[in-house]
Structure 1
Amino acid sequence: MVVVIVEFRINRRSGVPAFQQIVQQTKQALRLGVLVPGDRLPTAKDVAEVSAVNPNTTLKAYRELEREGLVEPRPGQGTFVRRTLARPSASTDSPLYGQLVAWVSRAAEAGLEQEDVVALVASAMEKQYTAGTETAVTTTRSTGG
């Protein structure tokens, strides 16, 4: 049996509830192929000790993941990954990932901060994935005068 260590990082300043952060991070691990069907998620007690969240918070996240069909609880054994979200071209060993890492490095070298990079990536994603599906809103700026 392969042991996969998943460590949830809870950002208390993000405004996103802790259980939702656990759901998002689990989905990210599923998309990247870090977690695969059959892997056991950490126990609620383990997550509580490492991340300083109430065990019920983790259980709430796991119930949400179960509702979505991604994990399944096995009484007395734990919670196990049921299905993956991974695509070969989205794994951390794909050429696309390597290109993205190189681009992020160039952005940092150019003086961009993490928030700048996130804003650029979000803008590019929005442009790519919502093209033609939204109504443009225009604003005018007064130059005073």
Structure 2
Amino acid sequence: MVEEGDLLREGDRLPTVKEVVAHLAINANTVLKAYRELECEGLVAARPGVGTFVTAMLTDTSPAAYGPLRLELQRRPAEARRAGLDDESIEALFMTTFRTTAQEDIA
């Protein structure tokens, strides 16, 4: 099982959906959706019967490159939970905001 904070490299196998669900206690559909999105972005590839593997990396994967951003992103879900949102609502809010911002960037 990949441990929190571990960096994945090309060729590494992602944990199975079952492993992620057991480790993080989140909905299996959420994990499946995340894996599908990674596959659509070309970052992973599913190999039936074998697993899902990293096929591409972001341009700079060093922890220092995203440290401040990672800290900021970690604070936001805690704030949303304090406001009464559950995990699925937080994810929906993030994705809606992300897509809206991405569309504005294109326009």
Tell me which interval the TM-score lies in, with the shorter structure as reference length: 0.5 to 0.7
| Per-residue CA distance 1:89-134 (angstroms, 9 max, x = gap) | x524xxxx3xx79xxxxxxxxxxxx87xx7xxxxxxxxxxxxxxxx
Partner of 2:10: 37
Supply the distance in 1 between the matched residues of 2:10 and 2:52 (Cα, whole angstroms).
11
| Structure 1 residue 45, shift from structure 2 partner | 0.3
How far 1:36 sits from its partner (Å)?
Answer: 1.0
RMSD of equivalent CA atoms: 2.9
In structure 2, runs of 5+ residues without a counterpart are 76-107
Change (3 A) 1:64 1:6: farther
When the two structures are superposed, what TM-score results if normalisation uses the length of structure 2? 0.53
- Alignment partner for residue 62 of structure 1, among 19, 35, 39? 35
- Partner residue in 2 for 1:13: none
**C-alpha separation in 2, matches of 1:36 and 1:58:** 19
> Could you tell me how far 1:6 is from its partner in structure 2?
3.9
- For the residue of structure 2 that corresponds to 1:73, the secondary structure is strand
Shift of 1:86: 4.0
Residue number in structure 1 paired with 2:2? 5
Matches within 5 A, 1:1-145: 5-7=2-4, 34-87=7-60, 91-92=62-63, 97=64
Q: Distance in 2 between matches of 1:65 and 1:72?
A: 8
Which amino acid letter does the alignment assign opposite residue 5 of structure 1? V
Per-residue Cα deviation, 1:12-45 (whole angstroms, up to 9, x for no partner): xxxxxxxxxxxxxxxxx7xxxx111100011100
Higher helix share: 2
Q: What number of residue pairs does the alignment pair up?
A: 69
